[in-house]
Amino acid sequence: MGKLVTEMLKGTLEGIVLAILGRRPAYGYEITAWLRDRGFSDIAEGTVYALLVRIEQRGLVDVRKVPSEKGPPRKVYSLNAQGREYLEEFWQTWSFLAERLEQLRKEGPQT
Amino acid sequence: MGKLVTEMLKGTLEGIVLAILGRRPAYGYEITAWLRDRGFSDIAEGTVYALLVRIEQRGLVDVRKVPSEKGPPRKVYSLNAQGREYLEEFWQTWSFLAERLEQLRKEGPQT
DNA sequence: TCGGCTATTCGGTGTTGCTAGGTACTGGTA
DNA sequence: TACCAGTACCTAGCAACACCGAATAGCCGA
């Protein structure tokens, strides 16, 4: 989609992935496909994997290896208690930002 | 406000500043104060100035020096045609992201 | 004269997503 | 058998962005 989205994703992609994991456990390849499906057409695979490593190291998710019939074993991530807490914080921060931006847009030129 | 906001601001702060300039011309110090007033309590001054330099170099704004009664001359920035076009793009990108995030939040756990 | 407010600039740092590869397992096909 | 596509994961190096801390400079009141 372009540079604009790329920059905006910094800081939000993490929340997006956590939100996905908040619904049900998932593995990297699956998450990437899901994102592409939803319009994030050019999210790099490497980006998602790197992000997963990060949130794992921060202790926001639990991991377990699950054999696949079609390739190497999958690393299935699931949101733990700490992750849910962090996701809650993320939504609050997002609301803060979204509200202010919506207001700016509403006000428009000359206010 | 913390690291979460900081990361989320990447890519959006630029749009925010452009939106402010879309309403009326302004200078750096003024913009910083405005942002702090609106809840962006810990936006660093240096950040705003660096951003203004960037958007000037990209030709999104026009600049003019205006003497101040209370200090060094102000650099007053105003959005030009190219800047308005870019701002429009920004809003579209923002909408794209905001819609998807809202949907994710609505869906919540288990969907 | 000194401190405080106005106003801008700059160098160095950390985080993040992207690029562009590579590894490895399975199944189908020439 | 050899090869390729699909599945699934990982990594090193890069660019962009916001932050921190400090410096510079002009004005004014105590």
DSSP letter, residue B73: P
- Helix (H) or strand (E) run with residue A74 in it: strand A74-79
Residue B81 has pLDDT above 70, yes or no: yes
**Residues B7-36: tens digit of each pLDDT:** 999 999 999 999 999 999 999 999 999 999
Residue A25 has pLDDT above 90, yes or no: yes
Residue B62 has pLDDT above 80, yes or no: yes
Residue numbers in B near A16 (CB within 8 A): 100-101, 104
| Packed helices B13-23 and A81-107: angle between N→C axes, nearest 10 degrees | 20
Mean pLDDT of chain A: 94
Pairwise CB contact (< 8 Å): B2 & A104: no
pTM across the whole model: 0.93
Residue A68 has pLDDT above 70, yes or no: yes
- Helix (H) or strand (E) run with residue B105 in it: helix B81-107
Q: Which pLDDT value is given to residue B107?
A: 81
Q: How far is A53 from chain B (nearest CA, A)?
A: 18
Q: Which pLDDT value is given to residue A73?
A: 96
How long, in residues, is chain A? Answer: 111
CB hemisphere CA count around B24 (13 angstroms)? 6
Mean pLDDT (whole number) for A26-31:
98
Mean pLDDT (whole number) for A31-39:
95
Instruction: Quote the CA–CA distance of B86 and B80 in Å, as a whole number.
Output: 10
State the nucleotide closest to B72 in CA–C1' terms. D26
Q: Which pLDDT value is given to residue A1?
A: 65
Q: Quick one: A62 exposed, middle or buried, by C-beta within 10 A (0-12, 13-18, 19+)?
A: middle
Instruction: Quote the CA–CA distance of A73 and A66 in Å, as a whole number.
Output: 6
Q: Whose CA is nearest the C1' atom of nucleotide C11? A: B46
DSSP letter, residue A27: E
Distances (CA, A) of B95 to A20, A50, B51, B89: 20, 26, 22, 10
Q: Is the CB of B51 under 7 A from strand D?
A: yes
Residue B2 has pLDDT above 90, yes or no: no
| Protein CA A67 to sugar C1' D1 (Å) | 28
Residue-wise burial string across A13-25, b where 16 or more C-beta atoms lie within 10 A, e elsewhere = bbbbbbbbbbeeb
Distances (CA, A) of B2 to A84, A90, B16, B40: 18, 11, 19, 11
